[in-house]
């Protein structure tokens, strides 16, 4: 489900491997258990993608299994 969210009320975080240059994604847990994702270079200005629990779980499962490894060189 997609709904309007107040980005300032979410607890955003990024991976420890992300550098300080701001070129990373930030994620935050939503009230319904889903996850919001945003570009750290466009905080408050860019779009926020919202994923359900099942969508996020499927993505993480694929990432852990290496299904997206060919996208990074």
Report the C-alpha gap between 38 and 42 in whole angstroms: 8
Mean pLDDT, to the nearest integer, of 51-67? 96
Per-residue pLDDT reduced to its tens digit, 9-34: 899 998 888 877 767 889 999 999 99
Q: pTM of the full predicted structure? A: 0.81
Answer whether 7's CB lies under 8 Å from 47's CB.
no
Please check the confidence at residue 3 and state whether its pLDDT lies above 70: no
What is the predicted pLDDT for the residue at 2?
Answer: 57
Q: Of 27-31, 36-40, 60-64, 66-70, give the lowest mean pLDDT range.
A: 36-40
């Amino acid at each position: 489900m997609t709904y309007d969210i107040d980005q300032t009320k979410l607890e955003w975080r990024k991976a420890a491997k992300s550098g300080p240059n701001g070129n990373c994604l930030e994620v935050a847990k939503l009230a319904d258990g889903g996850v919001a994702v945003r570009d750290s270079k466009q905080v408050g200005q860019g779009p926020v993608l919202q994923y359900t629990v099942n969508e996020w779980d499927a993505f993480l499962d694929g990432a852990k299994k290496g299904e997206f490894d060919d996208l990074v060189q």
